[in-house]
Amino acid sequence: MRFRLFKPGRTTWLLALGLGSLAWFGLAACSGEPFTTGGASGASGNSSGGTNAGSGGEGESQSEAGDSGSPEGGSGDAPNGGKGGSKPNAGSGGKPAAGCDCGAGQYCQDNTKCQNCADFSRLEFGTPQKLSTISQNPTSERFARPAASGSALFYVSGALDNSKILYASSPVSGMGIPVTLSTQVESGVLFVSGFNDQNLFFDRRQTGGRKLRMAVWTAPAVLTKDALVPEPINTADSDDYSIAISPNTGHVYWMSTRNGTPELLWEPTSMSAPPAPAVLDLKLKAGSAQCARSGEDATPWVNLAGTVLLFRNPSLDESCEPNDSGATDLFAAPLNSDGTPKAAATALSSLNTVGGMSTETDPTLSSDACTIYFASDSGTGDFDLYKASRN
């Protein structure tokens, strides 16, 4: 069964991503409780960037494209929007929080008490720190995604028409090295640990548009078994890109233009006869309003247990109209066990920048969920990578 994902049959490939194939993946189902939501509301999509203290340090481990194997979800209210503040800056990095002595997989909330990073009832972050070593002007860097171990990251470097996938084993001290051929234009990289085959997913510009691909990555930069992701994830005469996968639940999320305009699709693949891909009914809070997801690319990311979805969306006012010239902000939505949104998404306001047409994009949590990675252009069009610790 080594080449299972390469078989053309729809059901066979989808089952390879589903719960029925967890043993084949080498993964175990998450035993934690689902991410729940309550009455707390988040800030609107144009909230300002964070000024909270308590930044610093990498996640304990980034061996998964999602979170660690610890129980996900926690309890309580939906993730709130934070307090807002100034645009991302380099921060102070690496300094322990003053009022806590927290263990692995915990963060110091408001410098007063330790909380489990696997509890998503609150999603606030300290001051973002620029990953200066791999953020090289004037080249844009995006899609920072945790790799196989430690602080290692995959990321995408270059303009949209010339972007490459790189791997950095130590982002704080060295540049990344190319993973694919220099002649190829690729983006949306996602590493999913635990698969026996195809652990690296990405999209490539090729004849017929952007198409999702899968391959086997071996450190530091060996890529084998590069192949198209089969239908129905890819379809002819459309762009399919920006994939997110929760292998514990078999839920797949991605962008597609198959219906004429860019849509965020999803499919539960754990059933013996999975339904056709459908548009994800994703709403977000903008002040007191609830607005439909919009934009050409949500750059979605879902954690291993499939309990929280991070994405970007144009900043919206309470009339659900774009503001800040269409710049995008970061949002988080709790998910039901069936993969659908449990509640409207709320803005990650401690990371978003108000005004100045600053675009925040590509949110991703570390494997222990204690650190977030994202990209921001601060209104310049040149993206840099940032990380921020839970707060």
The answer to whether position 389 is within a domain reads no
| pTM for this model (two decimals) | 0.79
CATH of the domain at 250: 2.120.10
CB of 295 closer than 8 Å to CB of 328: yes
Residue 200 to residue 213: CA distance in whole angstroms = 8
The answer to whether 363 and 373 have CB atoms below 8 angstroms apart is: yes
* Residue 82 contacts residue 45 (beta carbons within 8 Å): no
Nearest to 49 by CA among 89, 5, 12: 89
387 domain-assigned:
no
Tokens coding 291: 């607005």
Instruction: Report if residue 200 sits inside a domain.
Output: yes
Q: Residue 274 falls within a domain, yes or no? A: yes
Where b means 16+ CB within 10 Å and e means fewer, 322-350 reads bbbeebbbbbbbbbeeebbbbbbbbbbbb
Beta bridge partners of 246: 251
* CB 118 within 8 Å of CB 105: yes
Q: State the pLDDT at residue 55.
A: 36
CA 96 to chain centre: 25
Residue 358 lies in a domain: yes
391 in a structural domain: no
Per-residue confidence (pLDDT) for residue 273, from 0 to 100 = 87
What pLDDT does 12 receive? 52
From first to last of its 391 residues, the chain has per-residue pLDDT tens of: 333 333 334 555 555 554 333 333 333 333 334 433 333 333 334 433 333 333 333 333 333 333 433 434 444 444 554 444 445 444 444 444 457 899 999 999 999 999 999 999 999 999 999 999 999 888 999 999 999 778 999 999 999 889 999 999 999 888 999 999 989 999 999 999 866 679 999 999 998 899 999 999 999 989 999 999 999 999 999 999 999 999 899 999 999 999 999 999 999 988 788 899 999 999 999 999 999 999 999 999 999 999 999 999 999 999 999 999 889 999 999 999 999 999 999 999 999 998 889 999 999 999 999 999 999 999 999 999 999 999 9
The CA distances from residue 196 to 199, 246, 304, 305, in Å, are: 7, 15, 16, 18
Asked if residue 19 belongs to a domain, the reply is yes
Let me know if residue 384 belongs to a domain: no
Provide the number of structural domains found in the chain.
Answer: 1
Q: What is the pLDDT of residue 164?
A: 95
Query: Structure tokens of 77?
Result: 């209210």
What separation in angstroms does the CA of 315 have from each of 46, 52, 172, 251? 5, 22, 31, 27
Domain containing 323 equals 4-379
